[in-house]
Amino acid sequence: MNTESHSQLAAFIWSVADLLRGDFKQSQYGRIILPFTLLRRLECVLAPTKAEVIKAAEIHQNKPEAVREKLLLRAADQPFFNASPLALGSLSDTQTSDDLMSYVQSFSQSAREIFEHFEFESFVQQLSANDLLYKVVQQFAAIDLSPARVTNHGMGGIFEELIRKFAESSNETAGEHFTPRDIVHLTTSLVLTGQEAKLKPNSIVTVYDPTAGTGGFLSESDEYIQQVSQNVTVSLHGQELNPESYAICKGDMLVKGQEVEQIKLGNTLSDDQLAGERFDYMLSNPPFGVEWKKVQKQVTDEHKHRGYDGRFGPGLPRVSDGSLLFLMHLVAKMRTRQDGGSRIGIILNGSPLFTGGAGSGESEIRRYLLQHDLVDAIIGLPTDMFYNTGIATYVWVLSNDKPAKRKGKVQLINATDRASKMRKSLGSKRQYITDRDIDDVVRLYGAFEENDESKIFPIETFGYRRITVERPLRFRFDETCELGIEQLKEDKKFISWPEHVQWGVLNVLLGMAGYCRDHGPILNREVFRGQLKDKMREHAKKGEFSALHLKLIEKYVGKRSDEADICLDKHGNPEPDTGLRDNENVPYDESVFEYFEREVIPHVPDAWIDEEKRDELDGRIGIVGFEIPFNRHFYQFTPPRPLEEIDADLKACTDKIKQMIEELSA
């Protein structure tokens, strides 16, 4: 069944909303349509063995519950069963509600729980009260969702389309629930390509998604591994925050024969329900730019108290975007190299590449990932690829067991031009990546060669040291200090001085300004201080005028001037001018002193490096920072058109306008 057919079937299922209009809010449509779709799918999957299950239920009805459940599972030949003789098509039109809930309660426990998360019974009662339940049931009973017609992959596409419609009708964010299948396919292919040695027959591999949504990544990875390997057991694990998405994911896993106990409900960042687990492959599309204020206490406590023994040792990003927290969460779940290592594929927006300067949480996270040689490749995707945003996005591929040729290096792949226009937009998704383009990108990754779309860099390329460059304070006082005096008079500290001290300062400063008008400026701070203190002896007693008073006065009436003498501190060292303080980013593998002599001294000969500003981790001068300027490495300069060509175009345009005006006036 192709994508077009998925959309058509999803549209047909959604047409049930026509029945609901008027009696239910638009935001409630999905909460009815999604569980009924899942119920019909489970019913169709169980249809071939239904008679055997009912027969077994009668035979074993008096056996203990646990024993009976195992026997019925065996009869169903599925990881779930339904022991009721009822079906959607045979429910009574007079007691539909009771029949339907009896039918749902006859599922095995793992399936029953799914409908509890949909709050199914509550909506069934509402439908019944509005005389709509039997009509809805009959409409779903007529839809063929059997595996022969709709594959598991196809069913995932139908669920995604329904959730997108649900999100649009209720003004929710569709992209929080699932990732477009083309992006899922690309990311999964990048992570699993070249893994034949690990995916050998009769092996068991684990796959994990901490933001599982409806289970797209889990389903795709399972399907991919089954296609490239034989007799590999794939154990799928995930956690999801949204109850409806969780219920659909769990239902999808149930149909696929997975252990649904490994799919958890809850917030991954504050309540990791698979703590201590390690996985072979991890895939995730965490929400873009979503703040983590709700879980700030738990995350911050883990960072402070557990450090590198927890998930967030290297640092914390700003609270407005938690995507890097999910990345660190995944890294903490990597198997050791001795245990086979792990590979991660995660989709992030642009900010994790460069947000945050040296020493920030984001930079420290990038530093940890790069210095531990975990970043394997970053692939830039086209815009308009997601249902709820058109922003630039990137697939990060991480590994802690790189092959020899990739060690110490990072590959950047520019796939931003590999987009095809969709015939019909789906929300903000206007473009998709074809299977052919996906294959090309995966080949670019596998080839590990440099060309226009692929660049390879040693990890040091992305590092730098931020040094603080100081320049000396030079103080000038002249006749133009009137504005400064007016500002000084408004200062709260100045106003708090005794009135006679205030009056004395203002008179002395005006007198000194008059002197400067006739004899030139004062270009030495100590000379200015000496004159001011001498003259203030007439206006203030001993102790009423101190160095603190001087500091405040100099703040307002002093000027910076290259002609003035350098101000010295009490140790005789040049005093830095905070207004001229600057930072320089020195390439990570270069000497800060060589860089300083070459790039700074020729322009500001009196500058020096503040050697007190040192990195916390390595103790060397300068704060270490890491950023990945992806776009800069693929930027191609296009020279502007020649002026003659532009002039010719302008002349042609003005000539045409003149001709039009003449024709109008004729």
Together in a domain, 182 and 303: yes
Distances (CA, A) of 74 to 41, 50, 102, 231: 20, 12, 22, 21
Do residue 139 and residue 202 come from a single domain? no
Say if residue 327's pLDDT is above 80: yes
Q: Are residues 100 and 140 in the same domain?
A: yes
The confidence band for 628, taking pLDDT boundaries of 50, 70 and 90, is very high
Torsion sign over Cα 125, 130, 131, 133:
negative
pLDDT band for position 168 (50/70/90)? low
> For position 235, which CATH number holds?
3.40.50.150
* pLDDT tens digits for range 294-325: 999 999 999 999 999 999 999 999 999 999 99
Answer whether residue 585 is part of any domain: no
Q: Mean per-residue pLDDT for 281-288?
A: 91
**Model confidence band, residue 387 (pLDDT cutoffs 50, 70, 90):** low
* Average pLDDT over every residue of 206-216: 91
For residue 659, tell me if it sits in a domain: no
434 with 527, same domain: the answer is no
* DSSP symbol at 175: G
Whether 430 is in a domain gets the answer: yes
For residue 625, what pLDDT band results from cuts at 50, 70 and 90? very high
In a domain, 284, yes or no: yes
Mean pLDDT across 602-616: 95
Domain end call among 537, 560, 583: 560
| Same-domain check for residues 117 and 256 | no
- In this predicted structure, the answer to whether residue 163 has a pLDDT above a threshold of 60 is yes
288 and 147, same structural domain? no
Task: Report the pLDDT value the prediction gives residue 650, as an integer from 0 to 100.
Answer: 92
Residue 105 shares a structural domain with residue 27: yes
**Cα–Cα distance between 509 and 516 in angstroms, integer?**
10
- Asked if the model's pLDDT at residue 175 lies above 50, the reply is no
List pLDDT tens digits, range 217-234: 998 898 889 888 888 989
Alpha helices in 520-591 (DSSP H): 525-536, 547-557
Burial bucket for residue 386 (CB in 10 Å: 0-12, 13-18, 19+): buried
241 and 377 housed in the same domain: yes
* Residue 343 · residue 402 · CB < 8 Å: no
**pLDDT grade for 426, boundaries at 50, 70 and 90:** low
Confidence band of 171 (pLDDT split at 50, 70, 90): very low
Query: Which of 156-170, 358-372, 480-494 is the least confident region?
Result: 156-170
Q: Could you tell me the two tokens for 459? A: 């990890």
220 C-beta neighbours (distance < 10 Å), count = 23
> Same domain, yes or no, for 11 and 138?
yes
- Within-domain flag for 348: yes
- Look at residue 209 and tell me if it is in a domain: yes
* Whole-number Å distance between alpha carbons of 89 and 410: 57
Do 90 and 182 sit in the same domain of this protein?
A: no
Tokens of 323: 């995507």
What pTM does this model have?
A: 0.83
Closest-CA residue to 15 (of 33, 40, 2): 33
The answer to whether residue 45 is domain-embedded is yes
Do 509 and 544 share a structural domain? Answer: yes
> Cα separations (Å) of 562 from 176, 476, 484, 577, 580?
57, 9, 20, 12, 12
| pLDDT surpassing 60 at residue 16 | yes
Domain annotation covers residue 665: no
Residues 410 and 520 in one domain: no
Chain-centroid distance of CA 503 in Å reads 59
Provide the mean pLDDT of the chain.
90
- What is the pLDDT, as a whole number, of residue 156? 75
Helices (H), 208-322: 216-228, 243-256, 296-306
Domain range for 271: 173-460
> What is the DSSP code (8-state) at residue 430?
E
Type of residue numbered 471: R
Indicate the number of domains in the chain: 3
